[in-house]
C-alpha cells in the first residue's frame, strides 16, 4: 500500500473519531468547550503535518495518491462539508431559537462539523475502494 494513502486514511479516521466523540459528549452533557474544538483543529493540523512528512520521506507516493478517484473524493468531501454546514447552520438556528440549545454550544458544534465532515467523507471514500 501507498504510505501517503495510509497516512491520509489514518488522519481522516482520527479526525472523524475525535469529532464524533466531541459531538456525543455535547449531546449527553450539553457542554462543549472551545478548548476541545481547538484540540480537534490541532489534531487536523497534526494530520496535515504527518501527511507532509510522509510525502517528504516517500516522494514517489505523491503522484499515485492523486489519481482521478482521489481528486473526485477530495472534491466530494468539500461539497459534503459545505452542505453539512448549511444544513447544520439552519438546524442549530432553529434549535437555539425554539429549543433549549444555547448559542455558544451550537457554534462550537458547528465548528466540529466544519472540521469533521470532509474528513468523514474522505475516510468513507477511501474505505469503499
- Domains in the chain: boundaries: 3-128
**Is residue 121 predicted with pLDDT exceeding 80?**
yes
Confidence bin at 102 (pLDDT 50/70/90): confident
Yes or no: say if 73 and 128 are a contact pair by the CB < 8 Å rule: no
Q: How far is it, in rounded angstroms, from Cα 77 to Cα 118?
A: 4
37's grid cell: 474544538
pLDDT at residue number 27: 86
Residue-wise pLDDT tens digits, 63-74: 887 777 788 888
Confidence bin at 34 (pLDDT 50/70/90): confident
User: In a 3-state reduction of DSSP, which class is residue 102?
Assistant: coil
Give the residue-averaged pLDDT of 13-38. Answer: 90
Confidence bin at 61 (pLDDT 50/70/90): confident
Confidence bin at 79 (pLDDT 50/70/90): very high
Q: How far is it, in rounded angstroms, from Cα 22 to Cα 34?
A: 11
pLDDT at residue number 9: 93
pLDDT at residue number 88: 93
Q: How far is it, in rounded angstroms, from Cα 78 to Cα 82?
A: 6
Amino acid at each position: 500500500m501507498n504510505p501517503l494513502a495510509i497516512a491520509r486514511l489514518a488522519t481522516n479516521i482520527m479526525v472523524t473519531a475525535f469529532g464524533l466523540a466531541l459531538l456525543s459528549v455535547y449531546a449527553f452533557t450539553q457542554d462543549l468547550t472551545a478548548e476541545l474544538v481547538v484540540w480537534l483543529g490541532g489534531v487536523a493540523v497534526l494530520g496535515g503535518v504527518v501527511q507532509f512528512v510522509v510525502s517528504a520521506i516517500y516522494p514517489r507516493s505523491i503522484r499515485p495518491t492523486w489519481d482521478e478517484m482521489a481528486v473526485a473524493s477530495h472534491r466530494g468531501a468539500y461539497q459534503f462539508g459545505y452542505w453539512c454546514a448549511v444544513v447544520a447552520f439552519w438546524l442549530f438556528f432553529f434549535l437555539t431559537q425554539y429549543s433549549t440549545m444555547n448559542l455558544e454550544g451550537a457554534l462550537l458544534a458547528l465548528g466540529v462539523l466544519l472540521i469533521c465532515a470532509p474528513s468523514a467523507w474522505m475516510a468513507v471514500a477511501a474505505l469503499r475502494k
